[in-house]
């Protein structure tokens, strides 16, 4: 396995960063998770736009333009002979001193890792997930909102710990007002009376690329799909619930906090959306 680090491809065992890198010391950096499906990098442009917006928001200067970064990603995929898998792009503030001052970090660190990873086993797409709601709250302050896909993922880590302790693969995060925001690394949709609803970004949800693709797929199939706030109650009484994310793709949820959702099986509309999503993953993107 070859990893892009400090301007070159290095072997996995040699891919090491300095303990003075502010990504490590302070979580000072941003990242993207991207999928490649049979040679097609799904919605790469959208991921890179989100990355550059995250960088702009935290005043981090990425030392490559979008075209250069695209070439680096393609070259890393080719060097690993990867047809389908997962790409992790990480940009940190770079090496500085022990103080927090980011302006002492002269060069951002750019890292590209590619792996043949899929998050959930195929049978879970057939059966659906049981999940719980977490007590950890989503911060929704203005700049460091989930819109900035930063390396500060402690909320999400705590949510994942709560999921692990409950013996389930994922947990839901509410914001401080009690509105449902998202999972530890995925967005949520509920379906009620054939309408698809997902929380708006301002509630404390990352505007996921998969989420946006699903909104488009749903509308192209003639469903009403919209953003709106909702609470746990609305999740419990939904006809169908599913999660979306680069790693999770589209996956049904059949139980939340012990409440059976709908029929207790992945619903008809969820399956229709999953099928529609799988039809575009090899088409929409960069070859
Ligand atoms: N929410 C969070 C907190 C995430 O980390 C992710 C994963 O990137 C998502 C949602 C899903 O976003 P996307 O579909 O862009 O992967």
Are the C-beta atoms of 62 and 48 separated by less than 8 Å? no
CB 34 within 8 A of CB 41: yes
How confident is the model over 35-91, as pLDDT tens digits?
A: 999 999 999 999 999 999 999 999 999 999 999 999 999 999 999 999 999 999 999
How far is ligand 1, taken at its centre, from the CA of residue 200, in Å? 14
Give the distance (Å) from ligand 1 centre to CA of residue 99: 30
CA distance 90 to 47: 12
- CATH fold for domain 2-115: D-amino Acid Aminotransferase; Chain A, domain 1 (3.30.470)
Is residue 159 within a helix (H) or strand (E), and if so which, with residue range?
Answer: helix 154-166
User: What residues act catalytically?
Assistant: 149
**All CATH 3.30.470.10 domain ranges in the chain, comma separated:** 2-115
Beta bridge partners of residue 131, listed in sequence order: 256
Q: Which CATH class is domain 122-286?
A: alpha beta
Residue nearest to ligand 1 atom 3, measured at CA: 185
Q: Where in the chain are all domains bearing CATH 3.20.10.10? A: 122-286
Query: What ipTM was predicted for this assembly?
Result: 0.99
How many Cβ atoms from other residues are within 10 Å of residue 232's Cβ? 16
pLDDT band of residue 141 (cuts 50, 70, 90) is low
209 CA: nearest ligand 1 atom: 15
Q: Ligand 1: which residues within 6 Å by Cβ?
A: 33, 146, 156, 182, 185-187, 206, 208-211, 244-246
Separation of CA 187 and ligand 1 centre (Å): 6
- Give the total residue count for the chain: 287
pTM of the model: 0.95
pLDDT at 270: 97
């Amino acid at each position: 396995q070859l990893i892009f680090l400090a301007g070159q491809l290095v072997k996995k065992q040699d891919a090491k960063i300095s303990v003075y890198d502010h990504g490590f010391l302070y979580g000072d950096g941003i990242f993207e998770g991207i999928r490649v499906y049979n040679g097609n990098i799904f919605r790469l442009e959208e991921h890179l736009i989100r990355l550059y917006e995250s960088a702009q928001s935290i005043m981090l200067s990425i030392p490559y333009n979008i075209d250069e970064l695209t070439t680096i990603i393609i070259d890393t995929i080719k060097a690993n002979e990867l047809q389908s898998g997962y790409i992790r792009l990480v940009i940190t503030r770079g090496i500085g001193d022990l103080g927090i001052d980011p302006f002492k970090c002269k060069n951002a660190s750019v890292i590209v890792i590619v792996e043949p990873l899929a998050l959930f086993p195929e049978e879970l797409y057939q059966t659906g997930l049981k999940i719980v709601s977490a007590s950890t709250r989503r911060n929704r302050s203005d700049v460091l909102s989930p819109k900035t896909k930063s390396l500060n993922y402690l909320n999400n880590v705590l949510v994942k710990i709560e999921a692990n302790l409950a013996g389930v693969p994922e947990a839901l995060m509410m914001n401080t007002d009690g509105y449902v925001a998202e999972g530890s690394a995925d967005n949520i949709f509920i379906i009620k009376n054939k309408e698809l609803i997902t929380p708006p970004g301002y509630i404390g949800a990352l505007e996921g690329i998969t989420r946006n693709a699903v909104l488009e797929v749903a509308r192209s199939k003639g469903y009403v799909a919209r953003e709106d706030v909702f609470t746990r109650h609305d999740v419990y009484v939904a006809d169908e619930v599913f999660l979306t994310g680069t790693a999770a793709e589209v996956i049904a949820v059949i139980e939340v906090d012990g409440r059976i959702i709908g029929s207790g099986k992945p619903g008809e509309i969820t399956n229709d959306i999953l099928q529609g999503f799988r039809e575009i993953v090899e088409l929409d993107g960069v070859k």
